């Protein structure tokens, strides 16, 4: 979702801990704060590359709310999945909801600061039913991730 990405990027830039968590797994956690300026610069470059407006949180949130309203309507009309059977539309919309509230760690492991940066609490509360649909899609259609050795 075009409005979700700038909200996430802005939240990541505002969170030193989230920038630290964004480091590659081969870099020890104790060294990541030293690389925070690099993580910040790379995140800013990503925002610039995609011409993201990181300053208008309210406008992005309104756009996301409107899209979530449409998704809710589609779910009420379609039943278990958006178009009847499980399709790519369900995958795309389930993935888009990561910018409202990420799925459980058993599907996508995120550090606590990153999880917080990806979460829009007001939208997550208002669209809890849509998130419950997404969680059901993940539970029935996506295998759980394999645990990796801790770094």
Report pLDDT digits (tens) over 61-77: 999 999 999 999 999 88
- Rounded to an integer, the average pLDDT of 129-151 is 81
pLDDT at 1: 52
pLDDT at 145: 72
Widest distance between CA atoms in the chain: 51
pLDDT at 151: 47
pLDDT at 84: 87
Q: Is the pLDDT of residue 93 over 80?
A: yes
The span from the CA of 24 to the CA of 36, in Å, is 12
The span from the CA of 34 to the CA of 28, in Å, is 11
């Amino acid at each position: 979702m075009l409005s979700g990405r700038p909200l996430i990027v802005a939240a990541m830039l505002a969170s030193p801990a989230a920038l630290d968590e964004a480091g590659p797994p081969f870099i020890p956690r104790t060294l990541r704060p030293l690389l925070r300026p690099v993580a910040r610069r790379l995140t800013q470059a990503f925002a610039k590359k995609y011409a993201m407006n990181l300053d208008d949180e309210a406008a992005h949130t309104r756009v996301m709310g409107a899209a979530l309203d449409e998704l809710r309507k589609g779910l009420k009309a379609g039943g278990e999945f958006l178009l009847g059977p499980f399709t790519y539309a369900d995958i795309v919309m389930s993935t888009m909801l990561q910018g409202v509230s990420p799925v459980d760690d058993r599907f996508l492991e995120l550090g606590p600061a990153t999880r917080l940066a990806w979460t829009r609490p007001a939208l997550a509360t208002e669209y809890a039913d849509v998130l419950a649909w997404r969680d059901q899609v993940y539970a029935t259609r996506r295998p759980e991730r394999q645990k990796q050795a801790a770094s």
